[in-house]
């Protein structure tokens, strides 16, 4: 049975259900239980629900150490940028230990990080930084676009024996969608074909899945059949599903809210150029944020990030229906 | 202590002979701390170390042959050649981690301490770090959290007066590491880290309290790094001690003088030779292993 839930509630439901199912699941974070009436605190107690000081490095490092001993901590970081102050733990400790010890220890932690809050939060709270993490061997990177996937990917992330960075988009927080009741697992590393089509493949990441779908809808009105793929997970990346789609359509547009250089979109484009070149009928188009810090003022903010018209323009270009811009 | 000294001296030779090919940091001169602390611990007590980890691993029970094989990059190494000198881990003996980034190990140890508490165990966590780690933000964050949550952890600072290549005076105006944690009122003590009995006695007191669920504690051990920061360091930044001066300080000779005992040098050197032969007899890992263990 499914019922409508907001995206953020779907994530919380996954954490709650996993904490009920498995007593090794812990929940750490700043401000996660601000009163004694907090439902997590009431259900699981202060041993398992731990409010931390503003000390991301110690907080994440401690979660890693507890994971060595068999616990499965979920660290609520609120803003993805807060991981940046703890990069040693996120990049150089958590994902390295299983490998460096030849498998003597495992690090089953989840870092829950909100990203892309392009609603006037300006330069330091709006970054779309998942691309920085998808190239770190040993880290998994989940990027849910819907409430159902948010629940299913969080459940899979908690059960995974590897460190997972779970990026949820702040503008999706209150978006509603059908979410299965009870156990719901979406495997990490499996893309979803959210709309089938024949003329062009549009890969949208996270929040950009919605914009890709809006563009596909508009294109359908013009007689263009677009296939939309949501990778759902950037590491491991399901290149197979993307390549199979491009083999069918021959054209690829990738929509990513991050800045273009070093982006997930660039990696996907490189994979397709390398492994699927013979299928391509046109150069791959990337619709990314401009290579700039997100500005505060609304018109500038909107100017910088991809939207449906930009996606439509890119599709027209790969279809040879628009001139290449100078 | 002789096992560690003999091991480190042999690693130095093997590094110069290129049989140990990577970066190594030797702990000769600091053996009393590893031994005074680890000799009182159980396998379920977690010990963390940093880049200068050989002595701690050996004192915690890691087999000499497997440590040597790791340094030589062999299949029989503790980490099958994937970790090396700075990332020695022997989980079965509770030696959970050498980390190569200064200070990176401190919060990991707190995680072990928290896990022990949640599991209802009386196991403790111990983390070794140098005086150079104390100036990092990670240290302050970790001490604050350990004190806030009263974690059963003992922080053991090996204060050898040098943070890598520069003296403590170039890093901070606070001379004693034990003073750095004063605001949290953590139980702490500074001892002569070249006196194994002093280390053992003070650590033993802290350990008993940590087993009873108290903590954290800080033990600062003043010591001397006999060699450079890394093997091959020309040490242009300091003057070596005179031989007589070092004989006065050497933790091994000091214990021997105190006990009126000749020590176990010969036995230790023979064990180390066996370890070298064990390591040499082990094959190199199949290169494909390098791509195989990225995910659990």
List, for residues A72-81, the tens digit of each pLDDT value: 999 999 999 9
Pairwise CB contact (< 8 Å): A66 & B115:
yes
Contact flag B104-A138 (C-beta cutoff 8 Å): no
* Apex A162 CA angle, A66 and A111, nearest 5: 70
**According to the CATH classification, is domain A192-318 in 3.40.50.920?**
yes
CA distance B243 to chain A (A): 39
- Residues of B within 8 A of A99 (CB-CB) are 82, 293-294
Residues of chain A with CATH 3.40.50.970: 2-180
Position B79 in a domain: no
In a domain, B240, yes or no: yes
pLDDT tens track for A37-55: 999 999 999 999 999 999 9
Nearest CA in chain A to B121: A69
For chain A, the average pLDDT equals 96
CA angle at A226 for the pair A224 and A232, rounded to the nearest 5° = 165
pTM of the model: 0.95
Instruction: State whether residue A102 sits within 8 Å of chain B by CB.
Output: yes
Residue B259 included in any domain: no
A54 contacts in B (CB within 8 Å)? none
Share of chain A above pLDDT 90, in %: 95
The answer to whether residue B284 sits within a structural domain is: no
Question: What average pLDDT score do residues A192-216 get?
Answer: 98
Cα dihedral B84, B86, B90, B93 sign = positive
- B108 and A62: CB-CB below 8 Å? yes
Q: Does A53 touch chain B (CB under 8 A)?
A: yes
- Residue A38 has a CB neighbour count (10 Å cut-off) of 15
CATH-assigned architecture of domain A2-180: 3-Layer(aba) Sandwich (3.40)
In a domain, B21, yes or no: no
Residue B160's CATH number: 3.40.50.970
Which residues of chain B neighbour A82 with C-beta distances below 8 Å? Answer: none
Query: What is residue A322's predicted lDDT score, i.e. its pLDDT?
Result: 57
CB atoms within 10 A of CB B154: 26
Instruction: Tell me which of A50, A51, A102, A164 to substitute to probe the interface with B (most B C-beta atoms closer than 10 Å).
Output: A102
- Cβ neighbour number for residue B234 with a 10 Å cutoff: 6
For residue A325, pLDDT over 60 is answered with no
Whether B89 sits inside 8 A of A104 (CB atoms) is yes
CATH 3.40.50.920 positions along chain A are: 192-318
Task: Confirm whether A125 is a catalytic residue.
Answer: yes
A65 CB within 8 Å of a chain B CB = yes
Binary contact (A67, B82; C-beta < 8 A): no
The closest CB to that of B111, out of A47, A64, A104, belongs to A64
B92 to chain A: closest CA residue: A104
User: Cβ–Cβ of A58/B141 closer than 8 Å?
Assistant: yes
Using a CB-CB cut-off of 8 Å, the residues of chain A touching B96 are 65, 68, 105
Q: Are A243 and A276 in contact (CB under 8 A)?
A: yes
Number of domains present in the structure of chain B: 1
pLDDT 10s digits, A102-161: 999 999 999 999 999 988 999 999 999 999 999 999 999 999 999 999 999 999 999 999
- Whether residue A59 lies within 8 A of chain B, CB to CB, comes out as yes
Q: Is the distance from CB of B76 to CB of B86 less than 8 angstroms?
A: no
Contacts of A125 (CB under 8 A, 6+ apart): A79, A81, A117
Instruction: Annotate B211-272 with DSSP letters as a single string.
Output: HTT---EEEEEE---SS-SSTT---TTSPPPPHHHHHHH-HHHHHHHHHT---SHHHHHHHH
138-177 in B: which are within 8 Å (CB) of A? Answer: 138, 141-142, 144-145, 148-149
Q: Which residue of B has its CA nearest to A108?
A: B296
Of B107, B137, B295, the CB nearest to A65: B107
By residue range, what is the domain housing residue B172?
A: 29-62+84-252
Does some domain include residue B184?
A: yes
> What are the pLDDT digits (tens) for A240-273?
999 999 999 999 999 999 999 989 999 999 999 9
Q: Is residue A326 predicted with pLDDT exceeding 50?
A: no
Task: Chain B: give the shortest CA distance to residue A218, in Å.
Answer: 41
The span from the CA of A96 to the CA of A5, in Å, is 36
pLDDT digits (tens, 9 = 90+) for A274-298: 999 999 999 999 999 999 999 999 9
CA angle A118, A120, A124 (to 5 degrees): 75
Q: B167 in a domain, yes or no?
A: yes
Q: What pLDDT, on the 0 to 100 scale, is given for residue A247?
A: 98
Buried b (16+ CB within 10 A) or exposed e, A4-29: ebbbbbbbbbbbbbbbeeeebbbbbb
Which of A125, A168, A169, A207 is flagged as catalytic?
Answer: A125
Each residue's pLDDT tens digit in chain B (296 positions)?
999 999 999 999 999 999 999 999 999 999 999 999 999 999 999 999 999 999 999 999 999 999 999 999 999 999 999 999 999 999 999 999 899 999 999 999 999 999 999 999 999 999 999 999 999 999 999 999 999 999 999 999 999 888 778 888 888 999 999 999 999 999 999 999 999 999 999 999 999 999 999 999 999 999 988 888 888 888 888 888 888 888 899 999 999 999 998 889 999 999 999 999 999 999 999 999 999 999 99
CB contact under 8 A, A55 and B144: yes
Residues of chain A contacting B184 with CB distance shorter than 8 Å: none
**B118 Cβ under 8 Å from any chain A Cβ:** yes
Asked, for residue B68, whether it belongs to a domain, the answer is: no
């Amino acid at each position: 049975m499914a019922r409508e839930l907001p995206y953020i509630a779907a994530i919380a439901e996954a954490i709650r259900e996993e904490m009920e199912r498995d007593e090794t699941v812990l929940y750490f974070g700043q401000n996660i239980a601000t009163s004694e009436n907090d439902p997590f605190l009431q259900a699981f107690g202060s041993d398992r629900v731990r409010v931390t000081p503003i000390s991301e490095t110690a907080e994440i490092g401690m979660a890693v150490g507890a994971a060595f001993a068999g616990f499965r901590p979920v660290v609520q970081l609120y803003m993805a940028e807060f991981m940046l102050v703890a990069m040693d733990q996120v990049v150089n400790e958590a994902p390295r230990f299983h490998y460096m010890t030849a498998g003597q220890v495992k690090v089953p932690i989840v870092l829950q990080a909100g990203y892309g809050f392009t609603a006037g939060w300006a330069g330091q709270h709006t970054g779309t930084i998942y691309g920085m993490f998808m190239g770190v061997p040993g880290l998994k990177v989940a990027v849910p676009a819907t409430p159902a996937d948010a629940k299913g990917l969080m459940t899979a992330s908690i059960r995974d024996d590897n460190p997972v960075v779970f990026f949820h988009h702040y503008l999706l927080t209150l978006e509603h969608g059908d979410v299965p009741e009870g156990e719901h697992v979406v495997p990490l590393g499996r893309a979803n074909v959210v709309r089938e089509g024949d003329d062009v493949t549009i890969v949208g990441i996270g929040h950009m899945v919605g914009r890709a779908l809006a563009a596909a809808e508009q294109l359908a009105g013009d007689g263009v059949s677009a296939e939309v793929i949501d990778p759902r997970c950037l590491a491991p990346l399901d290149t197979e599903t993307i390549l199979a789609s491009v083999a069918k359509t021959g054209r690829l547009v990738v929509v990513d809210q991050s800045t273009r250089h070093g982006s997930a979109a660039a990696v996907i484009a490189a994979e397709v150029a390398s492994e699927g070149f013979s299928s391509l009928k046109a150069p791959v188009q990337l619709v990314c944020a401009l290579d700039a810090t997100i500005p505060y003022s609304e018109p500038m903010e909107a100017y910088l990030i991809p939207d449906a018209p930009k996606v439509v323009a890119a599709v027209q270009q790969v279809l040879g229906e628009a001139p290449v811009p100078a | 202590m002789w096992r560690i000294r003999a091991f480190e001296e042999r690693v130095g030779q093997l590094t110069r002979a290129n049989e140990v090919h990577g970066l190594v940091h030797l702990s000769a001169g600091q053996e009393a701390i590893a031994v005074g602390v680890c000799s009182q611990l159980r396998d379920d007590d977690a010990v963390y170390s940093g880049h200068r980890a050989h002595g701690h691993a050996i004192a915690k029970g890691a087999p000499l042959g497997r440590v040597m094989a790791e340094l030589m990059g062999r299949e029989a190494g503790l980490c099958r050649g994937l970790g090396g000198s700075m990332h020695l881990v022997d989980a079965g003996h509770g030696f959970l981690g050498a980390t190569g980034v200064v200070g990176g190990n401190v919060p990991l140890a707190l995680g072990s301490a928290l896990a022990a508490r949640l599991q209802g165990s009386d196991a403790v966590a111990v983390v070794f770090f140098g005086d150079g780690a104390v100036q990092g933000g990670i240290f302050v964050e970790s001490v604050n959290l350990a004190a806030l949550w009263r974690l059963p952890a003992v922080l053991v600072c090996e204060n050898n007066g040098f943070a890598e290549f520069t003296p403590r005076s170039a890093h901070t105006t606070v001379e004693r590491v034990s003073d750095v944690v004063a605001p949290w009122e953590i139980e702490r003590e500074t001892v002569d880290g070249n006196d194994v009995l002093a280390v053992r006695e003070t650590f033993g007191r802290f350990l008993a309290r940590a087993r009873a669920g108290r903590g954290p504690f800080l033990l600062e051990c003043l010591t001397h790094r006999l060699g450079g920061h890394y093997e091959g360091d020309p040490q242009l930044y300091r003057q070596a001690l005179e031989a007589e001066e070092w004989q006065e300080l050497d933790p091994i000779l000091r214990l021997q003088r105190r006990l009126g005992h000749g020590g176990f040098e010969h036995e230790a050197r023979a064990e180390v030779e066996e370890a070298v032969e064990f390591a040499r007899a082990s094959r190199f890992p199949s290169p494909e292993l390098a791509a195989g263990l990225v995910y659990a």
